Amino acid sequence: MEPGLGDVRPVHRRAGLEQVAAGLIRFVLSRLLQSLVALAILSVVVFVLARATGDPLSLILPMSATEEDYANARRYLGLDRPYVEQYLSFVGRAVTGDFGMSLRARKPVSELIGERLPNSLRLAVFAMGVSLAIAFPLGILAAVKKGTSLDRAAQVIAVLGQSLPTFWVAIVLVEFVAGRLQWLPAGGIDGFTSYILPGFTLGWFVVAGMMRLLRSAMLEVLDSEYVKLARVKGVVEHRVVWLHALKNALIPVVTFAGIYFAILVTTAIVVETVFAWPGLGRLAYEGISSRDFPVIQAVVLTTGAIVAVVNLGVDCLYAVIDPRIRYAR
Amino acid sequence: MNRMSRTVAVSLLSMALASLAVAGPGWAQAKTDLTVALSSFSAETLDPALQGHNVKYYLSLMFDYLVGTTPDGQPTQQGGLAAKWENSPDHKRWTFHLRKGVKFHNGDDVTSEDVKFSLQRAMGKRSTTGYAGPLRTLIQDIETPAADRVVIVTKEPTLIIPTYLSRSLSTEGMVLPKKYIEQNGDDVFARKPVGSGPYKFVEQVTGSHIKLAAVDSHWRIGTPKYKTVTFKLVPEETTRIALLRRGEVDVADVSRERVKELEKENFPVHFRKEEAILHMWWVLGPDGLPAPMKDKRVREAMNIAIDRAEIAQSIFAGRAEPAAIPMGLSWSFRDIGFKVTPDMVYPYDPARAKKLLAEAGVASGFPLDVYAFQLPGLPEGKAFAEAVTGYWEKIGIKTKLIPVDYPAFRKQWVDRKNPGSVGYYNIANRDWIGTYALLEKMAYTPSKLNDTVNDVEIDGMIAQVMRQTDKDKINALMRNIYTRMRSEHYGVPVVYLHSPYATSKRLGKWNPGSVMYDLFIDELASSK
């Protein structure tokens, strides 16, 4: 029997609540362990790669700096120590949340992340909200009205969303909507209105993918036997679509949304740059372009942690959406 | 339309209406606030000793210099904490008399101890300012015989102390509060700086903005016209211009190519004329310039193969002037009485360039690596490098364009791993002493690290300048250095770049000046 249709759920009868909880805890712990191993590997990779990109002192010191100036700065910033010592010091501090001082800004990196991460999170939540608000109704409608002009219009929106480069969309919106029409702010963070253009730019790209995914998943589910049975039993159409079909079409969409949420938080470099949005993506860009090792390391590890947490959340959500999943593991 | 379609339509329409309903500028501000949008804040530092030279445009609002400078780069006794100064007959003791009654923003008096502390801090090992090294070499002692008098004792006779400690150079001359820093530490100071300038620090959000608030009255500019000055970091030019159009910013740096469009819309555009020289040079090998660049004729050929006027017009939208003197920073010319004569101007003569290559034995050309990169203030970097290699290809040089970022080129340059390859920089223009400091690093063989010129004659002249106390003789030496740099073609000076700043229509007159890394925003706020 397909889940979501009837009241009879034999799996629940076999397993007690305690067994379910123990299974979930085991699952979460094993995922956490995997994430920690991944973060440890990531810390080595980012430490090595950051140093392979060049010497930050050539950007910190003036063009006329002498060899003595270089030696002084290297010593002061701790860059004269052996790599192993630098790595151990970095990891030792990182586990306590101390990522050292930014070579460029001379501020604790954790403070910089603390300033930027909430901005990125807020923008990502807004963008995800925009994309869900557009993609869900459009995707479902496109599936239900397959082959109609509405379906085709939705396809056009999807194609445009995925094919128009984000930087182009961002610049066009700034130039016309903010600069010429003066409808919305052009950049910076100042109240709700300042979220609209960057949020829409970020969200539109996600809309396209999410809508297509939802449409194809819905088409598949709407064609399944249990949906046909529901219709035969006389369940009203909007209940069939929104309650029975949608729930089962959500698994791939949740995965997609989870992955994209992490991406929106951590890599919205273009949107953050165009809209002068002080977020994590721009911090990463600033760190990389100024060879700011502590910032690069901290941003990459934070990004890794966000991806791990989001993935874990998505996995847990699967179990809520489809109870069969917890027992398959 | 069924129920589901209606739901979708209503939700989409609601979103569209919500977007339109919130229309209107969000950063609208009172006229008493000044907002400056810039593409880069460099290191965003608030501590003058940590790369402060790159962000003098906001630091000079918070701090006073020991020696003042006019926007046009001339020393003035009206603009610094030292109301007057004099030197001993042997030019080894410089006495500065401090202005009385000046206070830091926390209420502490500005005294000679603060001056001493600031200078020692600027010369300290932690410092990454532009001229910490030369000052360390030059200064022997700093005496404070009275609260309003400070004496700087140098190891050698010199004329350059006041200039080094002035606003015309880096940040070594900024006076910081000794007591506040000693009580709170460097890190606190770097986050909550206290100075004695016309504006005090309010807040910094890294990657976003720095906000300053006016003091009630300041000895330098009177009661500031703007209650707050905010520097906004807006990396994308389209956004800066949109903010300007919406009236949300008053000053914005813009690219040379957008100037015409903004002028058409009646936005005043102010230029920092010849703000930088775009200069190319060859990476030295262990034994100096390698062949074939060792041959003066090849260096000349590479110079006259370039059509500078065309580059100025096509790459820099006509907002640049051809340059003729290697490392010839034009703001220093007036100080030392140097004049670029017509015979010094490089003609565009590819036919003669080919002939010179043939005479040098490389008629069929030679391979040449050219590094291409963008730089702050030089978004045209890669297009420029492509254009120059195009000219060199025309005379038979087989160029290979290597796209990198500047640090990668710098590593090649200082490590001397690819001798004879070419890179460039938009070197900030500066007065004679700044130029001298640059020559001492880039054209002086003993400097090793940054050297691009090996010439015994030039080495000798550079060594003499520092010890010379007769300004006329210094000027003659500097003129001779330039003349030899030009006659030996030690580098490829291409153009002087003008840097445009667009302002709101309400701003009025503003002289952004000709002092390196400064914009003289305080002059704009002056009520005097």
CA distance B281 to chain A (A): 14
Q: Positive or negative CA dihedral for B171, B461, B464, B468?
A: negative
CA distance B385 to chain A (A): 20
CB-CB under 8 Å, B47 with A185:
no
More confident residue, A328 or B465: B465
List CB contacts (< 8 A) between B241 and chain A.
179
CA distance A286 to chain B (A): 9
Which of B340-344, B388-392, B436-440 comes out lowest in average pLDDT?
A: B436-440
Flag whether pLDDT at B28 surpasses 50: no
What residue of B is the nearest CA neighbor of A278? B207
**Which of A328, A255, A245 is CA-nearest to residue A4?**
A245
CA distance A310 to chain B (A): 26
CB-CB under 8 Å, A190 with B235:
no
Of the candidates A73, A182, A187, which has its C-beta nearest B234's C-beta? A187
Question: How far is it, in rounded angstroms, from Cα A63 to Cα A60?
Answer: 9
CA distance A218 to chain B (A): 15
Q: How confident is the model at residue A328 (pLDDT cuts 50, 70, 90)?
A: very low
Confidence at residue A239, expressed as pLDDT on a 0 to 100 scale: 82
Which of A246-260, B68-82, B177-191 comes out lowest in average pLDDT?
A: A246-260
Count, in order, helices (H) and strands (E) of chain A: 16, 0
Confidence at residue A264, expressed as pLDDT on a 0 to 100 scale: 84
Of the candidates A59, A186, A275, which has its C-beta nearest B246's C-beta? A186
CB-CB under 8 Å, B23 with A183:
yes
Query: What are A103-148's pLDDT values in tens digits?
Result: 888 889 999 999 999 999 999 999 999 999 988 888 888 888 888 8
Of the candidates A66, A181, A187, which has its C-beta nearest B449's C-beta? A66
CB-CB under 8 Å, A115 with B207:
yes
Mean pLDDT of A159-182: 91
CA distance A104 to chain B (A): 5
Predicted model pTM = 0.84
- Is the interface score ipTM higher than 0.95? no
CB-CB under 8 Å, A180 with B43:
no
Phi, psi for B230 (deg, rounded to 5): -120, 130
**Which one of B11, B191, B236 would you mutate to disrupt binding with A, by most A Cβ within 10 Å of its Cβ?**
B236
Helix (H, G, I), strand (E, B) or coil at B168: coil
Flag whether pLDDT at A57 surpasses 90: no
Which of A12-21, B133-142, B476-485 comes out lowest in average pLDDT?
A: A12-21
List CB contacts (< 8 A) between A291 and chain B.
407
Mean pLDDT of B469-498: 96
Q: Positive or negative CA dihedral for A315, A321, A322, A326?
A: positive
What residue of B is the nearest CA neighbor of A168? B238
More confident residue, B528 or A189: A189
Question: How far is it, in rounded angstroms, from Cα A241 to Cα A248?
Answer: 10
B463 at A interface, C-beta within 8 A: no
| Interface subset of B 120-159, CB within 8 angstroms of A | 125-126, 128-133
Question: How far is it, in rounded angstroms, from Cα B24 to Cα A242?
Answer: 38
Confidence at residue A267, expressed as pLDDT on a 0 to 100 scale: 72
Flag whether pLDDT at A69 surpasses 80: no
CB-CB under 8 Å, B205 with A179:
no
Q: How far is CA B15 from CA A54, B9, B21, in A?
A: 47, 10, 10
Flag whether pLDDT at B80 surpasses 50: yes
- Cross-strand partners of B371: B402
**DSSP letter string, B382-435:** HHHHHHHHHHHHHTT-EEEEEE--HHHHHHHHHHT-STT-EEEEEEEP--HHHH
B97 at A interface, C-beta within 8 A: no
**Which one of B138, B232, B238 would you mutate to disrupt binding with A, by most A Cβ within 10 Å of its Cβ?**
B238
Query: What are B231-269's pLDDT values in tens digits?
Result: 999 999 999 999 999 999 999 999 999 999 999 999 999
Flag whether pLDDT at B10 surpasses 70: no
Burial class (CB in 10 A: 0-12, 13-18, 19+), A320: exposed
Q: How confident is the model at residue A323 (pLDDT cuts 50, 70, 90)?
A: low
Confidence at residue A268, expressed as pLDDT on a 0 to 100 scale: 87
Query: What are B308-330's pLDDT values in tens digits?
Result: 999 999 999 999 999 999 999 99
List CB contacts (< 8 A) between B7 and chain A.
137
Amino acid letter, residue B47: D
Give me the total of CB pairs closer than 8 Å, taking one residue from chain A and one from chain B: 193
What residue of A is the nearest CA neighbor of B27? A190
Flag whether pLDDT at A51 surpasses 70: yes
B8 at A interface, C-beta within 8 A: yes
Mean pLDDT over all residues of chain A? Answer: 83
**DSSP letter string, B370-396:** EEE--BTTBTTHHHHHHHHHHHHHHTT
Q: Positive or negative CA dihedral for B406, B407, B410, B416?
A: negative
Cis peptide before B347 (omega within 30 of 0): no
Q: How confident is the model at residue B31 (pLDDT cuts 50, 70, 90)?
A: low
Q: How far is CA A228 from CA A234, A235, A236, A241, B6, in A?
A: 10, 10, 12, 11, 24
Confidence at residue A14, expressed as pLDDT on a 0 to 100 scale: 55
